[in-house]
């Protein structure tokens, strides 16, 4: 009887494992076919200026120049597909979309170099170990570091709208700190690490409310470091919880713990997770609306990009936290929703983007209920993290 029980357990275990592997393979195959379609329609539109797909505008594929903050995501998507499939053609595609961003290593006019360069050249170096790509990344980090103000203790986010802000710092900027920490590990130049840690600590101090929801923009006095304004520029109101902003914070502090081992960043990530998981439907795997406090829910646009970022962050935080089992359960439910017909685009539709129903900047009437390339990026990252988690069991 005991032998029979063991035999049944083995059958169930390997049956479940095989089912998971089959399900993963079907999804990866779907994504590969969709990205192949994406490159087919993007290629005729590319030129010396326009390099990467970003979204759909007026029913047509919109490409952006290398200086756009989203320019690194599509090459990153192609690198991740190379990781998932091992097929050389995806490496070739990825390089072709990565190399036009090379000149941005000298761009000191943006805080988004982490998004632009680490998502593209970071993965290029990961898979090729080409020293040129390493040097491009180091220069990118040094360019980013020039935007740090020691009085404020943060990297300046935006240079535009000087009539509104003197020294704006947005929660999104947490995501760009990974480039600095990577460059510190490669060069040993302490100032890069110190900038990242200081920025994250000041963000904890000033960006978060008592419930650990986050403002979008904190405006500082660049001479004194004093907080002048707390706003939510892309959300419903200054006091609302813009969904993608909460996602950036969750992912950013999870990453900071991974890279530094500093417990304060793990604690912050857990507190942000607690706020997100307290929002209606999230624990059940419901993709968030564009703002958790939007007034007309459920008649508000979704933001699949926020859902994908939260999913990727929770898979990783699940490895570090004593609440890991809860985080991974929620990540699995969100992942299942994103993989459903409601959000996963059929092959040959959606202008080659993987996910539907993201929202960029609703108050600015920009990119509402459209695909966004960074939603695809964090969805692909979630596929990889989920597969790695299942293989390690």
Residues 38, 39, 43: CA angle, nearest 5 degrees: 125
What is the C-alpha to C-alpha distance for residues 213 and 196, in angstroms, rounded to an integer? Answer: 21
The pLDDT score that the predictor gives to residue 16 is 53
Q: Indicate the angle between helix axes 190-207 and 263-277, nearest 10 degrees.
A: 40
Place of tokens 């993007």: 42
- Per-chain mean pLDDT for the chain: 95
The radius of gyration of the chain from alpha carbons, rounded to an integer in Å, stands at 21
Mean pLDDT of 93-118: 98
Distance CA 106, CA 108 (A): 6
Average pLDDT over residues 175-181: 98
Catalytic residue among 92, 96, 112, 190: 112
| Whether 172 is catalytic | yes
Q: Is 211 a catalytic residue?
A: no
Quote the CA–CA distance of 109 and 385 in Å, as a whole number. 33
Instruction: Say if residue 53's pLDDT is above 60.
Output: yes
Which position among 68, 92, 166, 172 bears the catalytic label?
172
Q: How far apart are CA 59 and CA 52, in angstroms?
A: 17
Beta-carbon contacts of 265 under 8 Å, excluding residues fewer than 6 positions away, are 200, 253, 254, 256, 257
Residue range 187-223, pLDDT digits in tens: 999 999 999 999 999 999 999 999 999 999 999 999 9
Supply the pLDDT for residue 3: 52
Provide the pLDDT confidence category of residue 7 given band limits of 50, 70 and 90: very low
pLDDT at residue number 11 = 44
pTM exceeds 0.85 for this model: yes
Tokens 């978060």, located at residue:
208
CA distance 200 to 62: 33
Q: Is the pLDDT of residue 181 over 90?
A: yes
Torsion over CA: 279, 284, 289, 294 (sign): negative
pLDDT given for residue 101 in this prediction:
98
Residue located via tokens 């993290």: 385
For residue 23, what pLDDT is reported?
A: 77
- The string of DSSP letters for 68-123 reads STTTTHHHHHHHHHHHHH--HHHHHHHHHHHGGGGGGGG--S-STHIIIIITTHHH
| pLDDT-based confidence at residue 5 (cuts at 50, 70, 90) | low
Q: Is the pLDDT of residue 293 over 80?
A: yes
* E-strand stretches of the chain: 50-57, 60-65, 148-149, 154-155, 168-170, 217-220, 227-231, 358-361, 366-370
Domain interval for residue 142? 2-392
CB atoms within 10 A of CB 227: 16
CATH of the domain at 347: 1.50.10.10
Would strands 168-170 and 154-155 be described as parallel, antiparallel, or unpaired?
Answer: unpaired
Q: How many domains, in total, are found in the chain?
A: 1
d(CA 393, CA 40): 38
Asked if 291 contacts 359 with a C-beta cutoff of 8 angstroms, the reply is no
Q: Does the pLDDT at position 142 exceed 50?
A: yes
**Average pLDDT of the segment spanning 254-278:** 98
């Amino acid at each position: 009887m005991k032998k029979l029980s063991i035999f049944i357990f083995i059958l169930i275990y390997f049956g479940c494992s095989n089912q998971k592997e089959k399900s993963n393979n079907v999804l990866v195959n779907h994504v590969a076919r969709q990205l192949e379609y994406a490159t087919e329609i993007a290629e005729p539109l590319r030129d010396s200026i326009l390099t990467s797909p970003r979204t759909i505008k007026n029913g047509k594929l919109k490409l952006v120049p290398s200086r756009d903050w989203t320019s690194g995501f599509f090459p990153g998507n192609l690198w991740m597909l190379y990781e998932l499939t091992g097929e050389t053609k995806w490496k070739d595609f990825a390089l072709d979309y990565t190399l036009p961003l090379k000149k941005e290593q000298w761009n000191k006019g943006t805080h988004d170099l982490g998004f632009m360069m680490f998502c593209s050249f970071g993965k290029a170096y990961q898979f090729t170990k080409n020293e040129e790509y390493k040097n491009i990344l180091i220069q990118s980090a040094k360019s980013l570091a020039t935007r740090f103000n020691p009085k404020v203790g943060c990297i300046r986010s935006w240079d535009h709208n000087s009539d509104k802000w003197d020294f704006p710092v947005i929660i999104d900027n947490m995501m760009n700190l990974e480039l600095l920490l990577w460059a510190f590990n490669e060069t040993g130049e302490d100032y890069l690490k110190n900038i990242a840690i200081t920025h994250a600590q000041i963000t904890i101090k000033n960006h978060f409310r008592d419930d650990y929801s986050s403002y979008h923009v904190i405006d500082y006095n660049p001479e004194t470091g004093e907080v002048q304004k707390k706003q939510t520029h892309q959300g419903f109101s200054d006091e609302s919880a813009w969904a993608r902003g909460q996602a950036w914070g969750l992912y950013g502090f999870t990453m900071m713990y991974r890279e530094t081992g500093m417990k304060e960043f793990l604690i912050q990530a857990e507190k942000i997770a607690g706020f997100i998981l307290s929002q209606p439907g999230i624990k059940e795997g419901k993709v968030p609306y564009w703002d958790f406090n939007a007034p007309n829910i459920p008649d508000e646009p979704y933001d699949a990009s926020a859902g994908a970022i939260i999913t990727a962050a929770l898979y990783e935080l699940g490895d570090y936290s004593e609440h890991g089992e809860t985080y991974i359960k929620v990540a699995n439910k969100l992942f299942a929703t994103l993989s459903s017909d409601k959000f996963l685009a059929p092959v040959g539709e959606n202008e080659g983007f993987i996910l539907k129903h993201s929202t960029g900047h609703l108050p600015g009437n920009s990119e509402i209920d459209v695909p966004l390339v960074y939603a695809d990026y964090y969805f692909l990252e979630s596929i990889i993290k989920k597969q790695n988690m299942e293989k390690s069991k």
